[in-house]
Structure 1
Amino acid sequence: MRVAILAAMRTAVAPRGGAFRDVPAHKLAAALIGPVLEAAGVAPDAVDEVILGNALSGGGNMARVAALAAGLPESVPALTLDTQCCSGLDAIRLGAARIAAGEARYVLAGGAESFSTAPLRAHRPREKDGPPDFYRQPAFTPWPEREIALDASAAGMAEAEGISRAEQEAFAAESHRRALVVPAADGEIVPVAGLAADAFARRLSPALMARLPVLAGDAAHGVTAATIAVEADAAGLVLLGPAQAGDVTIAGGLARGGDPLVPALAPIAAVEALCARLGLAPGAVDLVELMEAYAAQALVAIRRLGLDPARVNAGGGALARGHPIGASGAILTVRAYHRLKAMETGRALCAIAGAGGIATALMLDRDGTGPACDR
């Protein structure tokens, strides 16, 4: 069975501590469920499963809480998955697989994240009355003596690949410029807590960026606050179901692993493998939504994959919006869906890297053909 995206929506993206500072992840996701079902004309009791990505909520089953908060029937099961930044895109990939395998007909899939309300993390004290050992980032490899911070890894990759600080800053400025001049599509954003548009994009001048200190790496290739996506709060959601002619369909998707110490390179292998499976050259895809966790990461992927920069993140990317970890892949998909819906035919590629050296790629297709299915 061909699987289609029947509706796709997201919240705006707000930097940590901004408009969504008091809105937990499950409420961001719950706010989308009703509007998405209404847009697709599907009743709540027809939903077979809810699958949501989330990386920061600290356990539990955020997807189930979101489903109940949205008023879905208690009989609808829910699954929360954590593949870090890949979580939202993996949730959509898994939902499509459920339908293709005949396990479900309608699946709500996506991701939600709240940096603002995420719990603090701590190891239990070694001694009975000792203080907890707080930490910011979990281990992403079994080799603590070798693991390096993600910012340092991106900076090292930039140096190895010959990506200068100036190139990174120019890319970031262009991402912000595009986000400012290309509005979200009609029906793309569901207002939550009074926020109906992305809140972070701004004009970035070379003089302003030059004053920013290097956060990791050397002066020539290092990363700065301008070339790293800010921590953010948001949610994105799609309804997956049987395809009819003219729908935006899931043409294929897969995950790949790479060097866990240089996770920013992992999307290259994922995109190459997916395009090889589909018989496409990456550069032939009509539009690309590529995660911009780091400007250097996106620049290396564009260069190695032979992508046309004009087709990549035409409305700006995460550098201009923010990075709500578990929601970012879902937001890429929502944006690609709406851009593809405005075209008569075409293909859209979504790709994202995750901590630990993993990546996920998803291809969407709109060809206006295909067998009709009863919904």
Structure 2
Amino acid sequence: MAEAYIVGVVRTAVGTRKGGLAGQHPADLGAHVLRALVDRTGVDPAAVDDVIMGCVNAMGPQSGCLARTSWLSAGLPESVPGVTIDRQCGSSQQALHFAAQGVLSGTQDLVVAAGVENMAMVPIDVNVGVLERLDTPKYGQGWRERYGEQEISQFRAAQLIADRWGLARGELEAFALESHRRAALAIDEGRFAEQIVPLAGVAEDEGVRRDSSPERMAALAPLREGWAITAAVASQLSVGAAAVLVASEAAVRTHGLTPLARVRSLAVVGDDPVAMLTGPIPATHAALKRAGLGIGDVDVFEINEAFASVVLAWAKEVDAPLDRTNVNGGAIALGHPLGATGAVLTTKLVHELHRSGGRYGLLSMCEGGGQANATVLERV
């Protein structure tokens, strides 16, 4: 059988909305990690078959096929094409899937999967003003006939999940506090140092709040009266980029590359678009089934912390141990640069498997529209 190997992973630090990366043009963020990926792996960039880049809000400076403009901004060969994709928060994880599928199919040998998002420059709610100016509803007639006029939002979905799985505010805040503690420890121990390529003087993830405490979290107002969801239990608006190089066995031999991980299985699922954020549950089951593995076989889980309720509900439903989940903190502490997060978490997962000596890692995240990707990696 054909194999798809991850032979290089690299990321920027994840910056905050007002931090040191906020003014970086998205194409320059992408160019930075693409150049670093080529330099670190030593691959001939002209041999790359395609560059697949995730980006959620492809507007303004993130428009015009960011994959192509990032590659060219990096000074890399014009002969290599690029394509930009949007599967909401899972965009660059889907880029990894497409890259691996191209290699597994035998039609490609070297594919870059990457992601970029500058949420300081292109805000998450950028579409709201556009829709208002056009005097156009977000959803068309077919959607409204199927789902009615009820609110569709990630914030309501996070609360619906908390209600369904009986997750109280205190439990969510305890999880969020632990995310900050783990992230701070990982930074202090230098666990991220090798995977980050500094940019604009930013060499560490900026979002960790070392002064977080139960008292400070408890003092925050909920997003709505009666809700358990507050800003403290949600991911941060962020800036960042990451890139992954996927290679065939032939490319590994030809270019003298060193495999870091094998792509063991891929899955993508659709789920309830109203609850929206529950997709990692069926996606995890699907990816493990394809890999012939069980939850107990997985050494490290990376489950995106869009909200604390998402990860806690996932852990309860699939019976996953939290002590092996987001061991270096998650998006609540480290940030969530939308289109880049899949590649960022892939980078973290590969490095953590090598640091800890684990064999299998699983990555999954919730996505807009009620979807989720899940990926099982095997350390090489």
Instruction: Specify if TM > 0.5.
Output: yes
Task: Name the CA shift for 1:138/1:111 in 2 (closer, same or farther; >3 Å).
Answer: farther
- Summarize deviations over 1:217-255 as a string: whole Å, max 9, x none: 625xx2001001111111111111124686411111110
What SS does structure 1 have at the residue aligned with 2:27? helix
The answer to whether the aligner puts 1:206 opposite 2:207 as a matched pair is no
One-letter amino acid of the counterpart of residue 244, structure 2: V
Give the fraction of aligned pairs with identical amino acids, expressed as a percent.
35
Contact (CA 8 Å) 1:52, 1:80: kept in 2 or not?
A: yes
Contact (CA 8 Å) 2:300, 2:358: kept in 1 or not?
A: no
From 49, 67, 71, the equivalent of 1:63 is 67
Task: Name the CA shift for 1:138/1:175 in 2 (closer, same or farther; >3 Å).
Answer: farther
Partners of 1:356 and 1:261 lie apart in 2 by: 8
- Segments of 5+ residues of structure 2 without an aligned counterpart are 253-257
One-letter amino acid of the counterpart of residue 193, structure 1: A
Partners of 2:112 and 2:269 lie apart in 1 by: 24
Task: Name the CA shift for 1:309/1:213 in 2 (closer, same or farther; >3 Å).
Answer: same
- Summarize deviations over 1:31-61 as a string: whole Å, max 9, x none: 0112111211201111111000001122420
Which residue of 1 is the match for residue 305 of structure 2? Answer: 292
The runs of at least 4 aligned residues of structure 1 exceeding 4 Å deviation read 122-125, 137-141, 243-246
1:17 shift after superposition: 2.6
Task: Name the CA shift for 1:193/1:57 in 2 (closer, same or farther; >3 Å).
Answer: farther
Partners of 1:138 and 1:178 lie apart in 2 by: 38
Which residue of 1 is the match for residue 241 of structure 2? Answer: 235
Partners of 1:63 and 1:205 lie apart in 2 by: 40
The answer to whether the aligner puts 1:111 opposite 2:124 as a matched pair is no
What SS does structure 2 have at the residue aligned with 1:182? helix
RMSD: 2.1
Partners of 2:156 and 2:264 lie apart in 1 by: 35
Contact (CA 8 Å) 1:89, 1:360: kept in 2 or not?
A: yes
Task: Name the CA shift for 1:214/1:344 in 2 (closer, same or farther; >3 Å).
Answer: closer
Partners of 1:70 and 1:64 lie apart in 2 by: 10
Moved more, 170-179 or 156-165: 156-165
Which residue of 2 is the match for residue 255 of structure 1? Answer: 268
The answer to whether the aligner puts 1:121 opposite 2:122 as a matched pair is no
- Segments of 5+ residues of structure 1 without an aligned counterpart are 126-130, 369-375
What SS does structure 2 have at the residue aligned with 1:213? coil
Task: Name the CA shift for 1:64/1:246 in 2 (closer, same or farther; >3 Å).
Answer: closer
Which residue of 2 is the match for residue 157 of structure 1? Answer: 161
The answer to whether the aligner puts 1:185 opposite 2:198 as a matched pair is no
1:88 shift after superposition: 0.9
What SS does structure 1 have at the residue aligned with 2:316? helix
- In the TM superposition, what are the counterparts of 1:1-375 in structure 2 within 5 Å? 1-58=2-59, 59-118=63-122, 120-121=126-127, 132-133=133-134, 139=139, 142-143=143-144, 145-183=149-187, 184-203=191-210, 204-216=212-224, 218-219=226-227, 222-243=228-249, 247-344=260-357, 346-366=359-379, 368=380
- Structure with the largest fraction of helix: 2
